[in-house]
Amino acid sequence: MDWSFESIVQHAAAEGVYDLGPGYLDPQLIPVPDIKAAFDEALSRYGAAALAYGHNQGALPFRAAVADRLADGDGTDYTPSHLLATGGTSQALDLLAAAVAEPGQAVVVESLTYDLALQIFRDRGLVVYAVERDSEGMLPSAVDQAAARARQERRGIAFVYLVPTFHNPTGSEMSQPRRTALLESAARHQMLVVEDDAYADLPLTPRTRQPSLAGLADFRGVVRLGTFSKSLAPGLRLGWLAAGPRLCRELAGRGLFTSGGCPSHLAALAVGLLLESGFYEDHLRWLHSELKCRRDALTDTLHNLLPGEWHLRPADGGLFSWVDIPAGVSEFDAVAAAEQGGVLTSPGERFGSDAEPGVRLSYAYNSPERLAAAAASLADAWRPLSAG
């Protein structure tokens, strides 16, 4: 039987619309033949072991390859025992919300943050404390304020969740001094920090890479999350959690993992081979140039055409650009006008707040040509709003 693309995937762009919504790669950017070869090789090389229940923390070849790569990037001593293979970031967040938090506890997040993290936390009965951020991300003083609020409400704090590198939705990046200050604040209040590094493999501008919070803290009080969904293929549903070996063992000891190991056992073995062979680094270099080309198509056009009061924030990596909306224009009006102009965008409100009124534009899901055209449509759609 023939099945349409739509019958299989979560979301497909509507005909005749520029869809700047999806926070993941255009199917055109997924290296299908290479991933196919990797699954094939994993099944040939590991045979029945690739189809048996995997190790609770994840198959060793995968954890060893990820540990080597992270150690290279971070200058920290990652070993396989620092890693837990996960079914992507969302499964890791669900696990943390269940394992290190209790219903009714608070989770401290940036005033704009990954929308589905918010949903996962709320699904688990956690109370979201959205705190102040600036162009570098969460303010250290906001951690102090959250601690004060928690005392007042007699509520425990489960953890602090943030996206320090190429932030979703704004694209912002936290400097090293800010990272250090934030870690100091969190340590002072004995708050666990959950560092979502989903976009860390996607820098688009050559420059010194920021060390991870986990690396700076040597894992003390920090859990770091990574994924191959944003850099390789969403449908792998594969990521990792890096933390101190004791916490990794403890998480892997929950029934969900002792019942058969990582939910993405075979995918982990396949990706382990792509890491080991050097394919992943080559792929990232190619992907960076593809994404840069897309980002430039979108942002160059916006820079040229955007009405004066609208402000495009720089995006040095990740998948998103953020446009600040002028005072007097609502997010709702901006998104509605864009849609009238044939462009789908995501309002800040979707990410938990309208503290910084604006819209997120993904440049990962469309070709450069379409992005340039979408940008021109956006400028046309928004010009009358400013004039009004």
Pick out residues in 194-253 that bind a copy of itself (CB under 8 A): 229, 233-237
- Judged by CB under 8 A, the number of residues near a copy of itself is 74
- Quote the CA–CA distance of 6 and 263 in Å, as a whole number: 25
Tokens of 299: 């942002």
**C-beta of 10 vs 190, nearer to a copy of itself:** 10
Q: Does 286 bind a copy of itself (CB under 8 A)?
A: no
Site for a copy of itself in 45-64 (CB under 8 A): 46-56, 59-61
| Exposed / middle / buried, residue 340 (Cβ in 10 Å: 0-12, 13-18, 19+) | exposed
The residue whose two tokens read 């501008």 is 205
Among 50, 51, 39, 83, smallest CA distance to 64 is for 83
Closest to a copy of itself by CB, 36 vs 207, is 36
Q: Quote the tokens at residue 61.
A: 């070849």
Q: How far is the CB of 266 from a copy of itself (least distance, A)?
A: 6
- Find the shortest distance in angstroms from Cβ 1 to a copy of itself: 7
- Does the footprint of a copy of itself cover residue 116 (CB under 8 A)? yes
Q: Which pairs from 142-146 meet CB under 8 Å and 24+ separation?
A: 142/108, 143/108, 143/182, 143/185, 143/186, 143/189, 143/191, 144/185, 144/188, 144/189, 146/106, 146/108, 146/191
Of 13, 21, 43, 309, the residue at the interface with a copy of itself (CB under 8 A) is: 43
Q: Report the nearest approach of a copy of itself to the CB of residue 271 (Å).
A: 12
Residues 87-106 within binding reach of a copy of itself (CB under 8 A):
87-91, 93-94, 98-99, 102-103
Out of 135, 207, 218, 260, which residue is the one contacting a copy of itself (CB under 8 A)? 260
Does position 281 interact with a copy of itself (CB under 8 A)? The reply is: no
| Nearer to a copy of itself (CB atom), residue 203 or residue 226 | 226
Cβ-contact 109, 352 below 8 angstroms? yes
Round to whole Å and give the CA distance between 217 and 192. 11
Work out how close the CB of 8 gets to a copy of itself at its nearest, in angstroms, rounded to a whole number.
4
Q: Tell me how far CA of residue 176 lies from CA of 2, 164, 211, 239, 277, in angstroms.
A: 52, 10, 7, 25, 32
Residue 146 or 267: the one with the smaller Cβ distance to a copy of itself is 267
At position 123, the amino acid (one-letter code) is D
Local structure of residue 112 (DSSP, 8 states)? S
Residue 72 found at the interface with a copy of itself (CB under 8 A): no
- 27 lies in the site for a copy of itself, by CB under 8 A: yes
- Residue with Cβ nearer a copy of itself (201 or 356): 201
Residue with tokens 């990962």: 364
Asked if 123 is part of the footprint of a copy of itself (rule: CB under 8 A), the reply reads yes
- If binding is defined by CB under 8 A, does position 265 make contact with a copy of itself? yes
Note whether 75 binds a copy of itself by CB under 8 A. Answer: no
Shortest reach from residue 70's CB to a copy of itself, in Å: 18
